[in-house]
Structure 1
Amino acid sequence: MSNVDSPVIVALDYPEMAPALELANALDPTACRLKVGKELFTAEGPALVERLQSLGFDVFLDLKFHDIPNTVAGALRSAADLGVWMANVHVSGGRRMLEASVDAIAGLPKPPLLIGVTVLTSMDAGDFAELAYRGSLEEQVLRLAGLARDCGLQGVVCSAQEAASLRESLGASFALVTPGIRPAGSVADDQRRVLTPAEAVAAGASYLVVGRPITRAEDPAAALQAINASL
């Protein structure tokens, strides 16, 4: 059982290890989890994840795997060997890739939570229309989330604005991981579909990914504490 008493996942969007570790040392591993994405993992690799875990943090390895089924399955096995708490794949990789992902970590002693990415929260309706998908952005999110559930994934990454409809459609146990979380008064930066932490939880979000409002705060620990208090 995890000892984390918060739904907050702090996004370590740094180019190298030193500032990521500096922030981690300022935070309480019972008050949040940490997310390592493409930039930081490409620069520092598994050693960084292991350092964060040695400090007591659960780590979400946010690499959004999207490739042929065999390649994604192998990548997820490597993530599981690293001991990460959560990993993710793009649901648009299709059923065979998703099922291979689930099979790759099934039966492991401590598999990561496997989460699917639906539509990136940096996209709005105009961006989505340019890709010529059928239906609306919201319909695509629901369609992809349903496919993820049917293939055995444990949740999806989605905008908090879509959490209420997904929670209603997919049930209470399906995890909803919501980036684009901004405390009241914060700027949206490059996120388009945003809600406050309290709004996201009320809408049905399971986990809240928060980056710059914490990582760029004058006092990151106080910023995290304020978010947790708002919940």
Structure 2
Amino acid sequence: MNHSLIIALDFADISEVGRFLTPFEDRQLFLKVGMELFYQEGPAIVDYLKVRGHQLFLDLKLHDIPNTVKSAMKGLARLECDLVNVHAAGGKEMMREALEGLEAGTAAGRKRPRCIAVTQLTSTSQEQMNKEQLIPVALDESVLHYASLAKDAGLDGVVCSAWESDAIRKKVGQSFLTVCPGIRMKSDQIDDQKRVTTPDYARDAGVSAIVVGRSITRSADPVESYEKWMNAWKGDY
């Protein structure tokens, strides 16, 4: 999945998703389904997208006791998503159990979904982390620590800011995935994100995949916007 552009489907229901995808015709995309959409539509939204040939990141950020996460991942594996995630703050044991659940739930002959861990949300600032999470270190140090835990647990990568991608890959290995939201064109609004970067910065930092939502999904011409983003991400200006 290196150099992927993942579109965040931040829609309320499946009908809105259908309207968004219609102009893309038979193009195969890499799409992200988060909590808002999954909690409204359930597994049906995954089936809807997979039958149309799209790759899928199911972004539910599981964070619970290890056995609960293991059982949940066993069920999610049967949906045959390409990518799922947990919160690294749940700890190494929880992340290991998540992988065990995915392995147990993946049908024979099928490849298990890749699993990545959320480090610090790109909407989190240094001040918030220090004061609200009571983590006294620098934000990038916290992110690197979580990335190391995820690597030790056997996970495939992390969700992080593109600012941290290069340091993470140097610390835990170049094959470790870094999936990065908080990517904006210079002309875009930052919205609720704090640690944002441009697609060219992300590319130069060795980011594996960027996640882009409203810049494409709320565009008057989503296909044109998608192609603009793909060109910026690949460096084809």
* Interval containing the TM-score (normalised by the shorter chain): over 0.9
Instruction: Give the TM-score taking structure 1 as reference length.
Output: 0.94
Instruction: Give the TM-score taking structure 2 as reference length.
Output: 0.92
Partners of 1:24 and 1:52 within 8 A in 2:
no
Counterpart mapping for 1:162-201 below 5 A = 162-201=164-203
Gaps of 5+ in 1: none
Partner of 1:77: 74
Secondary structure of the structure 2 residue equivalent to 1:115:
strand
Partner of 2:124: 123
Secondary structure of the structure 2 residue equivalent to 1:172:
coil
Partner Cα distance (1:193, 1:201) in 2: 16
- Deviation per CA, 1:117-157, whole angstroms, max 9, x where unpaired? 00011001111111211311110000000000010000000
Partner Cα distance (1:185, 1:110) in 2: 40
Partners of 1:119 and 1:141 within 8 A in 2:
yes
Shift of 1:27: 2.9
Moved more, 162-171 or 42-51: 162-171
Instruction: List 4+ stretches of structure 1 deviating above 4 A.
Output: 28-31
Partners of 1:83 and 1:112 within 8 A in 2:
yes
Secondary structure of the structure 2 residue equivalent to 1:138:
helix
Secondary structure of the structure 2 residue equivalent to 1:24:
helix
Secondary structure of the structure 1 residue equivalent to 2:86:
strand
CA RMSD of aligned residues (A): 1.6
Partner Cα distance (2:16, 2:230) in 1: 23
- Deviation per CA, 1:83-128, whole angstroms, max 9, x where unpaired? 1010000011011111111122237322101000000110011111
Partners of 2:13 and 2:41 within 8 A in 1:
yes
Partner of 2:47: 50
Partners of 1:21 and 1:52 within 8 A in 2:
no
Partners of 1:88 and 1:114 within 8 A in 2:
yes
- Deviation per CA, 1:10-32, whole angstroms, max 9, x where unpaired? 00011111111221233367563
Counterpart mapping for 1:1-231 below 5 A = 7-27=4-24, 32-106=29-103, 108=106, 109-130=110-131, 131-230=133-232, 231=234
Q: Percent identity?
A: 41
Partner Cα distance (1:212, 1:32) in 2: 16
- Aligned residues, how many? 228
Partners of 1:80 and 1:110 within 8 A in 2:
no
